[in-house]
Structure 1
């Protein structure tokens, strides 16, 4: 009896979300008493989140009104931009302190280091108490970087169903226990739970936002263009001439070209080159794969052709990107 072939997914957006994985997640259990304000610096290529376990606080992001985060709320900052959170009844107090540079810097506040993944902070003026779980992480797959380009500065989840809130709180308690007393597989468990929490926040935003306008998410949700994108993402190393793309999308050449550009904001050929080059840069920075292998995985028959395309995209050679990625860990050691 031959093995049955698993049919391909018919949910292109779901396929992309399956690839979202976080790395380097760090949690801080924050016990805060009013008045207090904490300034979080920007974290490049990372996302940050705050979960209010008890009490409430204000979230201040430049260019946006203060947001009140109550118990059970989750705030996700997909672009890792700097921001301030504060306690107390006056939402403008944190804004004033932030503008005057009076917010206490995150790294200036003493913390208790429980493990490599968990810290505990006690800070504030002794008034009304709040408890938060704050975290920073980064996506370790190219799809995460592309997805964040489509997301707003802040995703504020304030209307979770009761069972979802219970699951969120129990998950965070489990993460704290594993981080405080790590055992075999703790890192994997913590990372996967963080993946699920962040994914749930993004799914919630996608569901609530409806039409997000031209862009990657809109294209993935389109039946025809989404099918083509899913097929390409599965096999970016294969040849993708216009005739094949039109066949997969089941569209004529002219209609396909117009619709793809309208939904994505760039022509299909340009998207394929950009995706391949970003994936190649990621492999150069994070693996020891030979340049010839990376060129082949990027759809190029020779290293020379790949190197020319790479330099056109980033104005840098593949070799310089790889060399820099090897130097940086030495400088930070």
Structure 2
């Protein structure tokens, strides 16, 4: 049911840097909530786990500590940015040894819009000011990127490795919220979306860990072409032989190199990618399983349903019902 792939060996312009640029340019975020928070020492708060999301904290003034279960606390200073991917719960504290505080979402807040609030909490001591947010990613490529990120991505405001664009965005967010004018909420939240992408890009450019795993595979000239071809045309009738043609490799060489870099076989990656697309569309649109089957290269709805259930653990119908609750 797919399209002809005889032109699959045609290479897109550019190399690894262009692939990464296209990936970042196509990231689509779903803003969940933002909060302008002022905490007086002593204080501690629990940030709950939220599936399929990234939490971020921008420290505007003061200092604080970020603590994940089983890891050493990280100190944040004014101008710092911390991303917590993987939907992980964590604590923010005025002291690294402080006990866990109340859940932030259970505290009274001044709601300034549907997705923006102001929070004041803590004791009479020194004030720490933060912008905290939660964003989700609907794009399957973005979810792959999130999986590649470390448990905490800490961007130090005074680090020479931090791009000037990150520092400028931090400055603009702080200025918007220090003296809010009409529309400040909208400006600050959109700047925060930009900041998340900038922070990921800064990490990719400066951290050796970014050259491992899935990101490393994108930067590999041959395997990167295969991954980009799968992403661009997931419904094609891909076979190992046709993917090997894209890579200009033998089937055995492609299989070995792909498994080494990506951690799974090319056809397994193709299936997982297709099911990630299908899961997102079932949750967010009224597309039918029959239509998805045709668009994603399956010869029948039954074959698609079997593949989807094996990969996701739920039937397409169950995912659809879950999304409308």
Q: TM-score when scaled to structure 2?
A: 0.87
Counterpart contact for 2:166–2:198, Cα < 8 Å: no
Over residues 112-146 of structure 1, what are the superposed CA-to-partner deviations in whole Å (9 max), with x where a residue is unaligned?
11111221111121111111001111112111222
1:210 Cα deviation from its structure 2 partner = 1.8
**Larger RCO, structures 1/2 (Cα 8 Å, 6+ apart):** 2
1:27 Cα deviation from its structure 2 partner = 1.1
Aligned twin of 2:51 = 44
Counterpart contact for 2:165–2:198, Cα < 8 Å: no
Extract unaligned runs of 5+ from structure 2. Answer: 1-11
Extract unaligned runs of 5+ from structure 1. Answer: 1-6, 329-333
1:110 Cα deviation from its structure 2 partner = 1.8
Distance in 1, matches of 2:165 and 2:288, equals 49
Aligned counterpart for 1:28 among listed residues 19, 30, 35: 35
1:174 Cα deviation from its structure 2 partner = 4.3
User: SS state of the match for residue 104, structure 1?
Assistant: coil
User: SS state of the match for residue 32, structure 1?
Assistant: strand
Q: TM-score when scaled to structure 1?
A: 0.85
Aligned twin of 1:296 = 294
Distance in 2, matches of 1:181 and 1:140, equals 30
Aligned twin of 1:270 = 268
Q: Structure 1 residue 142 and structure 2 residue 166: aligned? A: no
User: SS state of the match for residue 172, structure 2?
Assistant: helix
Counterpart contact for 2:29–2:138, Cα < 8 Å: yes
Distance in 1, matches of 2:232 and 2:280, equals 17
1:209 Cα deviation from its structure 2 partner = 2.1
How many residue pairs align between the two structures?
308
- How has the CA–CA distance of structure 1 residues 218 and 204 changed in structure 2, closer, same or farther, with 3 Å as cutoff? same
- How has the CA–CA distance of structure 1 residues 79 and 215 changed in structure 2, closer, same or farther, with 3 Å as cutoff? same
1:172 Cα deviation from its structure 2 partner = 5.1
* 1:145-294 matches, cutoff 5 A: 145-158=143-156, 159=159, 160=162, 164-171=166-173, 173-174=175-176, 181-182=182-183, 192-212=190-210, 215-294=213-292
User: SS state of the match for residue 148, structure 2?
Assistant: coil
- How has the CA–CA distance of structure 1 residues 242 and 108 changed in structure 2, closer, same or farther, with 3 Å as cutoff? closer
